[in-house]
């Protein structure tokens, strides 16, 4: 949405990003594999897991951040088109059925005859 509002290209769920001057090389997962994309100039990117190592802030950084000014910007314009009507809990899970480890093979029969998934 941000990309559309500011009129920039958008790449979703990137797993790798390399910047070389004005050109960005981005890797992204697609159906059954991945693809490498190239974008010139500004763009909006959403990152998937694995793109970067997390950096844990050190104590000095945390203390320094406390004294930084905090600018609160009020939201502007835009009407809301959706709203949550209510929340409900998912249906309760039935009891777990235990199978003796000695007869683990029985599971396959149960999955076929009772659960009907294989």
Residues that bind other proteins (CB under 8 A): 1, 3-5, 8-13, 15, 25, 28-39, 43, 46, 49-50, 81-90, 93-94, 96-101, 103-112, 115, 117-118
Bridge partners, residue 112, by sequence: none
The smaller minimum CB distance to other proteins, of residues 54 and 67, is found at 54
- Could you give the CA distance from residue 117 to residue 111 in angstroms, rounded to a whole number? 6
The smaller minimum CB distance to other proteins, of residues 58 and 103, is found at 103
Element (H, E) at 64: helix 59-66
User: Could you give the 3-state DSSP secondary structure of residue 6?
Assistant: helix
The smaller minimum CB distance to other proteins, of residues 71 and 98, is found at 98
């Amino acid at each position: 949405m941000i990309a559309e509002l500011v009129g920039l290209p958008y790449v979703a769920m990137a797993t790798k990003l390399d910047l070389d001057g004005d050109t960005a090389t981005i890797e992204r997962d697609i159906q059954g594999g991945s693809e490498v994309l190239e974008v010139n100039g500004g763009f909006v990117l959403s990152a998937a897991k694995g793109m970067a190592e997390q950096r844990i802030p050190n104590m000095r950084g945390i203390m320094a951040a406390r004294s930084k000014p905090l600018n609160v910007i009020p939201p502007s314009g835009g009407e809301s088109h959706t709203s949550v009507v209510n929340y409900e809990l998912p249906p309760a899970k039935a009891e777990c059925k235990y199978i003796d480890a000695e007869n683990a093979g029985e599971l396959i029969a149960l999955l076929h005859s009772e659960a009907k998934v294989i």
